[in-house]
Amino acid sequence: MKNTYLYIFCFSLLSLGSCSLDTEPLTQLTDTNFYKTTDDAYTALVGCYDGLQVATGASGLGVPVISEVMSDDCFGGTGNSDGFNYAAIDEFDITRSPSDVDLLNGNWIGYYKALYRCNVFLSKMDQIDWKGNTTLRKTYESETKFIRAYLYFEMVRLWGNIPLLTEPSSENVPQANPDEVYKVIAQDLVFASDNLPATAYNATTGGRITKWAAKSLLGRVYLYYTGYYGKTDLVGVVTKAQALGHLENVIASSGHGLVDDFSTLWPAASVDKYAGESNKENVFAIKYTYTSDYNGNTDGNHWLVMFGMREFSSYPYGRGWGITVNSKLWNVYAANDTRRVATVIGIDEEKIAFDKKNSQREYTGYYNKKYTPMVDKDGKDLPLTMGSQFWDISQFQDYVVLRYADVLLMAAELGSGNAQAYFDEVRKRAYKANFTTLPVNADNILKERHLEFALEGVRYWDLLRQGIGTASSTIAETTTLLNGGVPGTKTITAAKIQATKGLQQIPNTQITLSNGVLKQNAGW
């Protein structure tokens, strides 16, 4: 057995090669080393704002865009050889583009990703060392809940029937009763209204969610829910009087007010006179900037380009993909209403030498002026002048969700004692010297809202909350539009709108992934 020692020697040599397998990610945070300090908390909060920005600005189809396409103010338009997805949305008719079974899948994914950020952050509140600063905690919690409420509100308006998650889950969650969703929205907004500091808007960093934003959004949610679903209060959480109270509080204490000249709210309508992104009328906006690229940065307004004139720039208006504005909108304004030329680009009216009718589908001669890409005097796209390389995805115009004018008109609609004064304040700004008084009533308020908020992504929901009957009959239309320069008949039928209840298609990919737990909306 003298060789035994040799064998043992050899084996010990073999075992020398044994090494541990311990490694860790060297350039990546993990959830085991995050959500600890107040710095982490702020970073996570910014992550939630980013989620909101990506979900509403860079995912799927722009909701402000499709809100306009669904309304009576815009047509699907776009390129003459493009697919017909915008037409399907415009006409509430999937047979216009039968293969588009995933029209809004990008939006759906973007929303749930943003919600996941909020839900994870809310679930980590207790493990963060706040160093006794409960105000800070409540502020961050309120902002996060506002973002969650805003996302759910957009989703539940759009689809009606959506899975509701208030904490992270990988389970196959079925669609919730809309009431449950509205309850979470209402509770989150009430929490934010109660817990955000009562600081004047101009003492808060621009873009941060304020108490006033929460209260104003609550008013919008109240009006939409009670209107569309025919209820008398907001799922038992907020009464009409409470909703009005919040709005009156904004009017009394926020420091917000109307800018003098309506056109200065819109960069393309006022150019050098633009009132700026933090003007006093801006109650809540989702902010975008020009740093989007194709390497993962998604800070830009990716949908703005849809509203631009098809492939054509004319100072100050930039090129885009050509969602067209219904000529009826131009005609609904009185000639002395300053809002008309601030809202709509009229190709003939402004003598624009537009020569891309060949590429434009559903040409009407009108485009959106409130939201349009812009160029400088040399015809250079503004994002490029800022240093971006991407004129299309790096548009940086913020989306103004709520203006003070809206607060005034909502308060009037909810029966404020000052209803006539609020109503007149908005109309006086619009008509200037030509102002003549009009009695405040529900009908007049809704008509005024159309003129005031046209092309801002508000109109469709204002129609829908008057009931699907009113909405469908207002939107339905048969007209003649130019497709690639060739006249064609455009028909939007009320029956199709009614069949869908005004709701959108649930993405088929999600339905199949859920193995049928998710159900498609009627009419799709």
Closest separation in Å from C-beta 295 to other proteins:
7
Closest separation in Å from C-beta 344 to other proteins:
24
**How far, in whole angstroms, is CA 166 from its chain's centroid?**
21
> Concatenated DSSP letters for 91-120?
HT-GGGSTT-TTTTHHHHHHHHHHHHHHHH
> Concatenated DSSP letters for 249-284?
HHHHHS-----S-GGGGSHHHHGGG---TT-TTEEE
Q: Judged by CB under 8 A, does residue 499 bind other proteins?
A: no
The single residue among 166, 253, 270, 297 that binds other proteins, judged by CB under 8 A, is 297
Closest separation in Å from C-beta 178 to other proteins:
16
Q: CB-based contacts of 263: which residues, under 8 Å, 6+ apart? A: 269, 270, 273, 338, 341, 342
Tokens of 470: 């009113």
Measured from the CB atom, the residue of 338 and 508 that comes closer to other proteins is 508
Closest separation in Å from C-beta 255 to other proteins:
17
Binding part of the chain for other proteins, among 2-10, 69-77, 243-251, 344-352 by CB under 8 A, reads: 2-10
Binding mask 355-374 for other proteins (x = CB under 8 A): xx-xx---------------
Q: CB-based contacts of 442: which residues, under 8 Å, 6+ apart? A: 413
Q: For the segment 378-407, give every residue that binds other proteins (CB under 8 A).
A: 380, 384-389, 396
Helix (H/G/I), strand (E/B), else coil: 359: coil
Q: Judged by CB under 8 A, does residue 255 bind other proteins?
A: no
Closest separation in Å from C-beta 432 to other proteins:
27
Q: For the segment 82-101, give every residue that binds other proteins (CB under 8 A).
A: 82-83, 95, 98-99, 101
The single residue among 38, 109, 242, 524 that binds other proteins, judged by CB under 8 A, is 109
Binding mask 179-218 for other proteins (x = CB under 8 A): --------------------------xxxx----------
Q: Judged by CB under 8 A, does residue 112 bind other proteins?
A: yes
Q: For the segment 266-285, give every residue that binds other proteins (CB under 8 A).
A: 276-278
Strands 74-75 and 282-286: unpaired
Q: Judged by CB under 8 A, does residue 431 bind other proteins?
A: no
Burial class (CB in 10 A: 0-12, 13-18, 19+), 189: buried
Q: Judged by CB under 8 A, does residue 127 bind other proteins?
A: no
Closest separation in Å from C-beta 463 to other proteins:
28
Binding mask 328-357 for other proteins (x = CB under 8 A): ---------------------------xx-
Q: For the segment 155-174, give every residue that binds other proteins (CB under 8 A).
A: 163, 165, 168-170, 172-173
Closest separation in Å from C-beta 81 to other proteins:
4
Measured from the CB atom, the residue of 19 and 252 that comes closer to other proteins is 19
Q: Judged by CB under 8 A, does residue 478 bind other proteins?
A: no
Closest separation in Å from C-beta 186 to other proteins:
21
The single residue among 93, 299, 406, 425 that binds other proteins, judged by CB under 8 A, is 299
Tokens of 75: 């047509």
158-to-245, 367, 500 alpha-carbon distances in Å: 27, 24, 11
Phi and psi angles of residue 165, each rounded to the nearest 5 degrees, phi first: -125, 120
Q: Judged by CB under 8 A, does residue 493 bind other proteins?
A: no
Closest separation in Å from C-beta 99 to other proteins:
5
**Is the separation of the CB atoms in 106 and 59 below 8 Å?**
yes
Nearest alpha-carbon partner for 344 in 357, 328, 360, 362: 328
Alpha-carbon gap, residue 447 to 449, rounded angstroms: 5
Q: For the segment 448-477, give every residue that binds other proteins (CB under 8 A).
A: none
Q: Judged by CB under 8 A, does residue 288 bind other proteins?
A: yes
List residues bridging with 403 in a β-sheet. 282
Tokens of 452: 């005031």
Measured from the CB atom, the residue of 86 and 222 that comes closer to other proteins is 86
Q: For the segment 31-70, give every residue that binds other proteins (CB under 8 A).
A: 31-32, 34, 40, 43-51, 53
Closest separation in Å from C-beta 388 to other proteins:
6
Length of the chain: 524
**Is the separation of the CB atoms in 150 and 188 below 8 Å?**
no
Nearest alpha-carbon partner for 224 in 104, 216, 118, 400: 216
Long-range contacts of the stretch 118-121 (C-beta < 8 A, 24+): 118/48, 118/51, 118/144, 118/145, 118/147, 118/148, 118/151, 119/148, 119/165, 119/166, 119/167, 119/168, 120/44, 120/168, 121/35, 121/41, 121/44, 121/45, 121/47, 121/48
Closest separation in Å from C-beta 97 to other proteins:
9
Nearest alpha-carbon partner for 524 in 182, 160, 169: 160
